[in-house]
Homo-oligomer: A and B are copies of this chain.
Amino acid sequence: VPKLKPEELETRRQEIIEAARICFLRNGFHKTTTDEICREASITPGGLYHYFGGKEEIISAVIAGSSRQVVDRLKGLLDESGDFASAFRELASFFVESMSDPDLDKAARLDIEIWAEALKNQNLAEISREGWSLRRQFMERFIRLGLDEGMYNNPGVVDPKGLSCLLMAILVGLRIGKVVWGEEFDLPGATRSLFLMNSGQLTSQLAIQIQPPVPAAPVR
């Protein structure tokens, strides 16, 4: 390995992570070999092992990197927006855009592989959990901002943590639906229904009257 300055080492490391992401999206976690990652990153196996101990360490770096990228991009959108309404619009556009990403199927397949692997691998489970936690925390902050900005008519009922969990679950469920249910799953229709539901257009007095039993809120 040639002598590199710390910032050059970090750049090279990021290049390898990006190459690995491409390989994992293309062929999945199990089918991807470290040889393929080496070819994609134009590095020798010896060079690769200078940066990463093996495939598991690489997938961990890919997962952590994706979460940081998404959250950094979301924070950027928020910072650039002049007011809450435009931030909300930006965030919604970002969501619609990610849902029509041609790589969505591949990303959802990789998620499923990672979760299945995480059932057997505590370390990977934690990395995966942290990645989703970063995204969820961003959503929770955004909901709190919405509360401050009068986004909700009935602020007393809004539970920012519970709602952020729901939104993350919806995001994941839509990705899973697309890849697991195939043609049967109408993603654009589900996305439109989500916007209608979120803005209270899928309801009536009847729906509010027949409030079903829900789990009690924990005593804080």
Contacts and interface: CB of A to CB of B under 8 A. Distances in A.
A104 interface: no
Looking at A132, A165, A191, A211, the one whose CB has the most chain B CB atoms below 10 A away is: A165
A218 to B, nearest CB: 7
Given A129-B184, A168-B173, A171-B173, 17 more contacts: A85-B210, A89-B212, A113-B116, A115-B180, A162-B191, A163-B193, A165-B177, A165-B189, A166-B189, A166-B190, A166-B191, A172-B173, A191-B214, A192-B215, A198-B203, A198-B207, A199-B211
Interface SS of chain A: helix, strand, loop or mixed? helix
A172 B176 contact: yes
Copies of this subunit:
2
How many of chain A's residues touch chain B, expressed as a range? 35 or more
A151 interface: yes
Contacts of A132: 180-181, 184
Nearest to A172: B173
A214 B192 contact: yes
Interface string A176-220: 110011101111111111111111111111111111111111100
